[in-house]
Amino acid sequence: MDSAQNSNTGYVFGMIGLGTMGRSLLLNMADHGFRVAGYDKDISKIDILEQEGRHVAVKGFDSLPDFVQSLQTPRAIMMLVPAGPIVDSVIADLLPLLDKGDILIDGGNSYFKDTTQRAEALEAKGLHFFGMGISGGEEGARRGPSMMPGGDKAAYEVVRPIFEAVAAKVNGEPCVTYIGPGAAGHFVKMVHNGIEYGLMQLIAETYEILRKGLQLDNAAINQVFKQWNEGRLQSFLLEITRDIFTYKEKGSDHHLVDDVLDVARSKGTGKWTSQEAMDLELPVPTIDIAVSMRDLSKYKALRVKAAEIYSNKLPAGFAAESQDAFLQKLEQAFYFSMITTYAQGMHLLAKASVAYNYQLQLDQIAKIWRGGCIIRAAFLEDIYTAYQQKPDLAHLLLDQRVSALAQEAAPGMRAVVAAAVTSGIAIPAFTACLGYFDSIRNAHMPSNLIQAQRDYFGAHTYELIGKEGTFLHTEWLPDAVD
């Protein structure tokens, strides 16, 4: 297949869906010298595209046939529409207009198993299809996102020059790479979002400790996040959190964050991550609890009633030491939790790579997450180095440098968890991280008792130490005694 930037007349790339993300990414391509076209049923979105792109080679269409005909062949078309039935509807509308050899890309947050089915159906019709996760939000799409394409490698090679041009750059290297066959791209984006859920919950719990435990006001909280973001905790999520605690609407005398309802919604990718991890029998407890806490937040009326019954008054002396000393421990706790959250996500990717034959290169995934995406952070350099040095690393926590970082931060983690739990401050993600760490470093878990219990009540059998593959059953009731 020829490169997308060939000598044929017409636009080299088409975008279906000119909402914020689709329009921003298309304009990014046009800024880099590519002739591009967009389609949307909403004429107002086309007007915005052409107004914002009046100085570059971009054109909007409200006619799908005209849009398709405007593209050079083989056509390269990306869909950036809501995941689910809408994707199938767009594909159905496109099919009569496409020729064999054309390329169709799903750039939304589609469920990876749906991507697998679509790829198989379109391949049978002679079309090239792949799913690509895109992270970075509106600003990322406009200035440089992180992109995770997977599936038809030959099709990706056609559009690779475009994606490498528009991707975020770290050390001059584009934050995009071919992820792997099948639905690998959408799977990796799903796990990216799962990690995002975990990190956001940890930041929210840190806010809870700062607000309720240390009783800091928004200005002081802003300074904590600002300072952290200038050190080893540097990340996009801390950066935006820092900014949130300074924002006041025009004419207002207080911060907007205090007016925001404490109900967190979601679009499903965190739930998918938890569900898939359970199907693969691999624990990701920080992501699990982050999903659960978003769900619990929706029960606002129930929480208000419970608060009337159970006192939320903290005991005096939340931290027995100075505020500065406790904040140092809190920084350690967050760093420790960040390490374990990324470790859980990378472990899931490793397991899925084998289960689905995705052939994932974890170092390259960490590499493209260093810039453009929502979970970009300084720590990703350590993850990249760990997997680059040892591609078959069984778990991130086994890396020598990462293990040293975790052990150095562990005392602060334990101190913060103890203080919060004793005071009744809810920190489920922090405690999940610590429980995961203490369990994974436990050579002899108490699971032998669970095996015995299952055999006792259900004759499920059990295994013995040193006798692999031997399954026994015991009548655990002692002989009756006269």
CB of 146 within 8 A of CB of 167? yes
H/E stretch holding 193: helix 184-208
Two tokens, residue 477:
């009731």
Cα separations (Å) of 370 from 353, 366, 384? 21, 6, 9
- Cα 263 from chain centre: 20
From the list 140, 130, 75, the residue with the least C-alpha distance to 107 is 130
- Catalytic residue chosen out of the listed positions 45, 59, 196, 329: 196
The yes-or-no answer on residue 189 being catalytic is yes
* Residue-wise DSSP of 333-398: HHHHHHHHHHHHHHHHHHHHHHHTT----HHHHHHHTTSSSTT-BTTHHHHHHHHHH-TT-S-GGG
Among residues 59, 189, 271, 329, the one annotated as catalytic is 189
Q: Is 196 a catalytic residue?
A: yes
Nearest to 12 by CA among 165, 115, 169: 165
Contact call for residues 100 and 126 (beta carbons, < 8 A): yes
448's CB contacts (< 8 A; 6+ apart) are: none
Instruction: Report the sign of the C-alpha dihedral through residues 349, 355, 358, 359, in that order.
Output: positive
Give the CA count within 13 Å in the CB-facing half-sphere of 77: 31
Instruction: Give me the active site residues, please.
Output: 189, 196
